[in-house]
């Protein structure tokens, strides 16, 4: 598409994390380069690759517009060079946010159903020998030694010790 329109590709920006997150390395770098005037057009496969939230999407588009940078989406055939393209982008952004909300609601409903059916959700609680951890700590072992001996993190050892202090206080 870039070749068809006579665009020279300056940089390709990619992210490996969800579009839900407003802070993403690729998007952040693209916006930084936009502020430095490195390009005139942002060409994306689909508008939901920029953001899933209408608010965030509109913030990005607004900033690109202020910088006189055109936004073009291949899948939706949108070009913000005109008022109709800008209106369609807002509508598509709202649909992307709705889609994300529906996904979240389906996941929550599935987790509720699983809990009602008695299935465990999340990580299983650690089975710790708290008395042995306390005994070994009293004998002078460090947090790191205890963590290695019981194959748990130092923060878990610290939490076990802290819980004991609270109980005895």
Specify the CATH number for the domain of residue 60.
3.40.50.1390
Whether 85 and 161 map to the same domain: the answer is: no
Answer whether residue 104 is part of any domain. yes
Q: Is residue 121 part of a domain?
A: no
Sites in the chain below the pLDDT cut of 70: 17-22, 52, 169
Domain span at residue 157 reads 130-168
pTM for this entry: 0.50
- Please work out, in degrees rounded to the nearest 5, the angle formed at the alpha carbon of residue 11 by the alpha carbons of 27 and 78: 70
In angstroms, the Cα distances linking 36 to 33, 60, 70, 153 are 5, 15, 15, 44
**Same domain, yes or no: 24 and 100:** yes
User: How many domains does the structure of the chain reveal?
Assistant: 2
What is the pLDDT at residue 111? 94
Q: What is the pLDDT of residue 18?
A: 64
């Amino acid at each position: 598409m870039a070749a068809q329109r006579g665009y020279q590709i300056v940089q390709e920006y990619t992210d490996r994390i969800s579009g839900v997150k407003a802070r993403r390395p690729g998007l952040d770098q693209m916006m930084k380069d936009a502020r430095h005037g490195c390009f005139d057009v942002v060409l994306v496969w689909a508008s939901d690759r920029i953001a899933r939230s209408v608010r965030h999407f509109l913030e990005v588009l607004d900033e690109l517009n202020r910088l006189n940078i055109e936004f073009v989406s291949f899948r939706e055939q949108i070009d913000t060079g005109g008022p109709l393209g800008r209106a369609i982008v807002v509508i598509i952004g709202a649909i992307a946010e709705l889609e994300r909300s529906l996904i979240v609601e389906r996941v929550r409903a599935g987790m509720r159903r699983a809990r009602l059916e008695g299935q465990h959700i999340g990580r299983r609680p650690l089975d710790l020998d708290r008395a042995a951890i306390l005994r070994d700590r009293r004998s002078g072992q460090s947090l790191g030694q205890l963590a290695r001996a019981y194959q748990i993190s130092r923060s878990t050892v610290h939490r076990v010790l802290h819980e004991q202090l609270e109980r005895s206080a």
